Structure 1
């Protein structure tokens, strides 16, 4: 099976999902004070994004949706977070490690990192929450043929959309080039490309490499699959699409037992 109209980044020449090409060249990432260019566009260093993983720091006696709302409120109230920029993603599942993830490639938080290399501390959200923040670089991608290779901004104005997020901690960094060249196999990206139901509107699959900091709670690599705008909440089509997506995630989870995996929806 081949998903029509998809290619594998710059220089792929419309090759199949079996080959691997970078979204941009893989030089080392820029240091603080060396902006990589317009956010969301490929540069000689690859596109950068700040991922913020938020979770309760203590056992909460809250329903899961209430817990998500509490985390979101704390994120928006955190000084220096600028949570309105980028996208706040809430999981559609229960019991996952990170109920809320924020990602941005513009705004005050992103600019401060580019200028100073600083990110927010683990306790920035207060004593009830833990915040693990890191800079990641997009180093591989699968995009529709003819589409811009530029990473689309995370604060797209076309309503909520769904994301599959996979995180990998236990990787052998001495074989980084081999890992990145074969990423579709060991991350499950090929399975997503081939078997995610077409009705869910796959738009892009990206491999992100951790730039900094090196922390035991952070993933060395992330795979982020962007889907098209979600159907209107409450409609029959939206319910069916969500059921399809959650069913697919369960099947993928069986194959990717060593990865963190959940499905998220951007909040408006």
Structure 2
């Protein structure tokens, strides 16, 4: 189904949100759009909605599987507005959002669906899930100048850390069960990344409800949504494997010539399997086995 605007979808397509979980894919450019959509269909999202510029085409096999909304996701606050609006329309529904050339992985995703994951997470009385955005990049920029290659994808196997998230409203005391996470290309090339965009944590999986607002730093207006675990034990976390930062660093005139390669001694080929991410400690199964 094709909608000419977000307002058009709100008027005539809101019923599609009753089939969940729902994936919202924001398309910023024409890189790996089809693979992103197919990946999220394959891991079990019942509804996949693509927010994309009207000049981009969808492959024929996806035209009937994906709900398309003509939308410019590069406009300031466009993603936050779309997520917040749809959250108000789909109360109680699990939703996920990401960008093109980003791929969600969760523990045991090769044999279990996103629906099974969220059923367990719901039983633990959780309404959101912390995800880490792990940078992917090609190891050969001479052959892949935009840094994107599914076959030659690499990631950093170390160099990740967390700091206490301070509460500006409470004398900058640490927030309960909230941390700011760093690492990957945003850490190694931080001189090219604005300070506010260096974090790699994103509350990308959440249960929709009226009044819930996504903020620019990928957190929500409900502070409990921003916690990494419940008070009594650790919870599941997931990973978004993303070419987005590498693309930005190589497309930005101020950084592209400063970076002849993203590869370093802690680079490792990405195996496109959740076991590698679990072994590297880049996500946790919590109590789910």
* TM bucket, shorter chain: under 0.3
